[in-house]
Amino acid sequence: MDPEQMLSRAPHSPMAGTGWLYGWRLTFGGDDIGWEGALATVVEDPSSRVFVVLYDVTHEDESSMDRWEGAEMGIHRKLRVRVDINGSEPALAWLYVLDAYEGGLPSARYLGVMADAAEKAGAPAEYVRWIRTREARNVGPGTSFG
């Protein structure tokens, strides 16, 4: 969601809007493959929704994103989903879903980055607060992040 991060990973792909992914929930998994804890992903859940940011991704940037997300190594799978764009017709989009078991705790730093990005994108304050107050793994001083 973070515009600066997307600019570095997909420099030719402008932000196209925000919306909600209904029938899915934000969760974490892949504790064994994350550098500092579990990684964000979504799973189907009919009673939930996830705030999303849409980008108009070029073919060149899609290949770059695939590499960043480890799609070629099987870390993430790419799915097509319908996103509700603030009351308009749903848009067809793709997203990456972690190919790992759900569970594990993300780091507090990771949750902070996610919450900051959601806030920058215009997510409702209650949603941002929900991300910020999730249970997290505290990573101690001196920990290297790569």
Q: List active site positions.
A: 69
**Dist. CA 37–CA 130, nearest whole Å:** 18
CA distances from 93 to 17, 20, 85, 114, 119 (A): 12, 11, 11, 20, 21
Closest to 102 in 3D by CA, of 46, 24, 49, 47: 24
96 assigned to a ligand binding site? no
According to DSSP H, which parts of the chain are helical? 3-9, 59-68, 108-121, 125-132
Sequence ranges of the binding site for substrate: 110
Sequence ranges of the binding site: 110
